[in-house]
Chain A
Amino acid sequence: MLSLRDLQQRFAAGLSESAAEPLTEWIRADGIPPSARLAIYRNNLHAGFIKTLGLEFPVIHRLVGEDYFRQLSLAFLGCHPSRSGDIHHVGGAFPSFLSERFVGTEYFYLADVARLEWACQECLVAEDSEPLDPQTLRGIPADAYGGLRFTLRPACRLVHSVFPVMRIWEVNQPDAASDRIVDLRSGPDYLIAMRNSRVELCRVSAGDFELLSGFSEGDSLGRALEAALATDPQFDLAAALRRCIGLGVFAQVTPQ
């Protein structure tokens, strides 16, 4: 007698390895071979996985084409099967998978494009929040500024790439002309992905990016400023804060 646990393990193994089918003897044929019955489930699994990944990474899909995207998806499924009952989580490891696969090749930029797409996905479903009211900063004494901690809004992600990923993303949107040429040497890009009514990308300077990266890691204003100045000795903090507040990047500011 097969235990329920054993049955489920054999079923899963039967879906991942088309050659070995450890469950077939436990399935009734009824006119269709058990292996063909399991193949229906394997096809469902593959089709669902490829479709979900395609919805999460439409630019990668468009860049590599349907056939190669299917191949990539199934290779990804083989080493990163879903670990969640929420199918919206399946693509989290896809950027690092692409990075390992294409390191040292001319397609390495795909990993960064995928990272940007996943950042957009995260923005889509992040907690809703209002941008920081600039008036909040008015009452803060100047000597307290160094200890301030700015929190980024949940629906905000920072993406850096040596490649021009924003341009690649833009020319591969559904309504964009497909014959645009992007020079892969025209990077780097320092980007904010943020959702208001929809997800939008915004290019910022290396200094602004360094400042925001510090904030996103919990650094105080003083510490984040040091990192920004190390990147850009001309960095103008007041102007950077005005820009970031204007963009609506911050959720709140707390002293110390």
Chain B
Amino acid sequence: MTANAVSAQLDVDATPVHRANLVRRQGKAGIGLRAQHHAEIIARLPPIGWFEAHSENYLAAGGTHRRQLLQIREHYEISLHGVGLSLGSTDPMNRAHLNRLCRLAAVVEPIFVSEHLSWGSVGGTYLNDLLPLPYTDEALRHLRRRVCEVQDALGRQILIENISSYLRYRCNEVPEWEFLTALAHESGCGLLLDVNNLYVNAINHGFDPYSYLHGIPRRAVQEIHLAGHTVTRIEGCEIRIDTHSTHVADDVWRLYGDALNRFGPVPTLIEWDADIPNLAVLEAEATRATRMLEAIRAVAA
């Protein structure tokens, strides 16, 4: 694909929803954007469906990375994926962080803006991690308010992603899929289904991932993430850790196939955040996802 062919697909005047639909119809998987690949992407314009940027890596006022992101944006659709808003925290909303995100979104005009079903700060101290929430009525009411606050500030819908977790609270009142479904229904947010996180949690916590898939409304899922995880042993017990450091596992590809059967050809993104390989390795993972998206479209047609 030539640079012009890629550029021609971009219609900057179209709404994010319209452009997201174009990405969906085009059916090419995307890749999580990492700084070490910036220069190669700009030089080579590889045939990738779109790129997803971690919002926090581009919130700065200037610098090389931000400039490169905007260069890449000239040729590709971009989604913004936040890891630092601490959406589920009981602290007041970090308005400074939210304002910076709004300014970045205004410049990038992303197809999706997403955050996590998690919290990461309390009493002003940030643990800089995606920590699990209890699935209680109180947490649901809190999350609904917070999601609405972010959507109002951005002037658009956001997507909320299921995280991988290594513990469950005794006070959980409903399974995660019920919590997410209620949150989407009550706040109007969409869902970003991370199939690897779902798989890791299903194995670690011993629940049926298919019940999860079938517990979520078909139209709620607007984006899918795929990533690699590792297996380790703690106190003699096997546990899967969501490291984003390797290839997508075969079992996760199978579960992805099931997710596509349920949700249709949802825009899909490959994430890889540690021991980051050459862009070609990520392209190959994206191509595998693209083939599965094509197969599901063929069935639907």
Contact = CB atoms under 8 A, between A and B. Distances in A.
A and B associate in one complex: yes
Nearest to B56: A86
A88 B171 contact: no
B106 to A, nearest CB: 16
A217 interface: no
User: Which of B86, B119, B128, B206 is packed against the most chain A CB atoms within 10 Å?
Assistant: B128
A152 to B, nearest CB: 14
B167 interface: yes
B81 to A, nearest CB: 13
Interface stretch (A3-11, A58-66, A162-170, A237-245): A3-11
B139 A4 contact: yes
B169 A8 contact: no
A4 B126 contact: no
Interface in A27-50: 27-28, 30-34, 36-41, 44-45, 48-49
Interface stretch (A123-131, A139-147, A222-230): A123-131
A28 B135 CA distance: 14
Contacts of B241: 40
B255 to A, nearest CB: 21
Nearest to A40: B166
A37 B120 contact: no
B62 interface: yes
Nearest to A25: B170
Contact of A5 (B61, B90, B128): B90
Given A1-B171, A32-B239, A82 B125 contact: yes
A107 interface: no
Contact of A82 (B60, B100, B126): B126
A38 B165 CA distance: 11
B42 to A, nearest CB: 14
A82 B94 CA distance: 14
A86 B125 contact: no
B90 A8 contact: yes
B142 A4 contact: yes
B84 A85 contact: yes
A38 B169 CA distance: 12
Nearest to B141: A4
Interface string B79-106: 0000111101110001001001000000
Contacts of A38: 167
B249 interface: no
B169 A82 contact: no
Contacts of B119: 8
A89 to B, nearest CB: 9
A70 interface: no
Given A30-B206, A36-B234, A124-B63, A85 B126 contact: yes
Nearest to A87: B128
Contacts of B63: 124-126, 128, 155, 195
A58 B129 CA distance: 23
Contacts of B169: 7, 26-28
B246 interface: no
A44 B167 contact: no
Contacts of A81: 125-127
Contacts of A40: 166-167, 234, 239, 241
A27 B168 contact: yes
A194 interface: no
Contacts of A28: 167-170
B155 interface: no
B69 interface: no
A30 B90 contact: no
A128 B62 contact: yes
Interface string B174-210: 0000000000000000000000000000000110000
B174 to A, nearest CB: 15
Contact of A127 (B61, B64, B131, B166): B61
Interface in A190-214: 195, 197-198
A36 B138 contact: no
Interface of B: 56-57, 59-67, 83-86, 88-90, 94, 97, 100, 119-129, 131, 133-134, 136, 138-139, 142, 166-171, 205-206, 234-235, 237, 239, 241
Given A85-B126, A87-B128, 5 more contacts: A33-B235, A49-B128, A85-B121, A86-B100, A124-B64
